[in-house]
Amino acid sequence: MAAGLSAAITPKAFRSFLSSHHTPKPTPVFDPLLQLRKSSYGARRRTNFAVCFVLEEQKQSAPQILNLVEEGSEDVRENQILIPARVAEKLARKRSERFTYLVAAVMSSFGITSMAVMAVYYRFSWQMEGGEVPLSEMFGTFALSVGAAVGMEFWARWAHRALWHDSLWHMHESHHRPREGPFELNDVFAIINAVPAIALLSYGFFNKGLVPGLCFGAGLGITVFGMAYMFVHDGLVHKRFPVGPIANVPYFRKVAAAHQLHHSEKFDGVPYGLFLGPKELEEVGGLEELEKEINRRIKSSKSS
């Protein structure tokens, strides 16, 4: 017989792992929780830490069982710690990606806007140096800038259906998969659309006359559409950067919900356009689903 120390962290009573016919029944020498258990009878059970001195033979089985339980507990704790760590790491990466794209979007927006305003100002100031006001050229420039911006919506709808979801799917597919990093291969299309806009603006800026004025207006319209597309599509719909009060404009909410239905493919990819997406859904009978998606986005924005 030898004096041993037994420790138990459990809501159940401590039981010896030794059978009664091999060893005499353990006789407790000192139990500091005896009075506590008596006084708390009928109260809610809680996990207790009991320390008891008992007279028992030393066996290897009990400590081994205790060690296994402790080792298992450590594994559980590690899993519980690792899961939140992975979530925190993912959220940090998402915040970094959104900040990177936000910086790129803001810099490009301010740069393009300032260049466009200066180009318009200097072009017409140079045109009026001789004292004449080229009204026809000015009217043609602004009219074509509005026409080009509207026309880009129809061009984007056709290209989205006939090219991006067909022969250029290997590039556009990156937009329909979870994005890894701040940019995706689909962003190349923004650069492709910027090339003709820059060419038209340059030709119209450095030349005088009605035709250069029309070219300047066309380039200006493409630029305006590209900036609006970036804020509504990339910012509002896909949340690549915060857009502020734009998210509270009712029609833009409808546009965002319509484009989200395009990604769900509930209507075979319709709508393929962006700003006229709700009209496309109306033509295929998708107004009910559109309202559901709008309400879902409103609830999601309020809870976040």
Q: For residues 271 and 290, is the Cβ–Cβ distance under 8 A?
A: no
Tokens matching residue 220: 């200006």
Rounded Cα gap, residues 204 and 213, in angstroms: 5
Q: For residues 290 and 278, is the Cβ–Cβ distance under 8 A?
A: yes
Rounded Cα gap, residues 191 and 184, in angstroms: 12
Sign of CA dihedral 253, 259, 262, 267: positive
Rounded Cα gap, residues 128 and 126, in angstroms: 5
Tokens matching residue 125: 């100031």
- What is the pLDDT of the chain when averaged over all its residues? 76
Averaged pLDDT for residues 148-175: 95
pLDDT digits (tens, 9 = 90+) for 104-114: 666 766 777 77
Q: Report pLDDT for 225.
A: 94
Residue 3 has pLDDT above 80, yes or no: no
Q: What is 133-159 written as a DSSP string?
A: --HHHHHHHHHHHHHHHHHHHHHHHHH
The structure tokens 């609006």 sit at 228
pLDDT band of residue 122 (cuts 50, 70, 90) is confident
Task: Return the bridge partners of 30, or none.
Answer: 53
At 76, is the secondary structure helix, strand, or coil? helix
pLDDT digits (tens, 9 = 90+) for 59-77: 444 444 434 344 444 444 4
CB-based contacts of 188, cutoff 8 Å, min separation 6:
171
The structure tokens 């000192």 sit at 30
Rounded Cα gap, residues 286 and 279, in angstroms: 10
pLDDT digits (tens, 9 = 90+) for 250-304: 999 999 999 999 999 899 999 999 999 999 999 999 999 999 999 998 888 777 6
Averaged pLDDT for residues 10-17: 45
pTM of the shown model: 0.64
Rounded Cα gap, residues 221 and 63, in angstroms: 79
Looking at residue 11, what DSSP letter applies? S
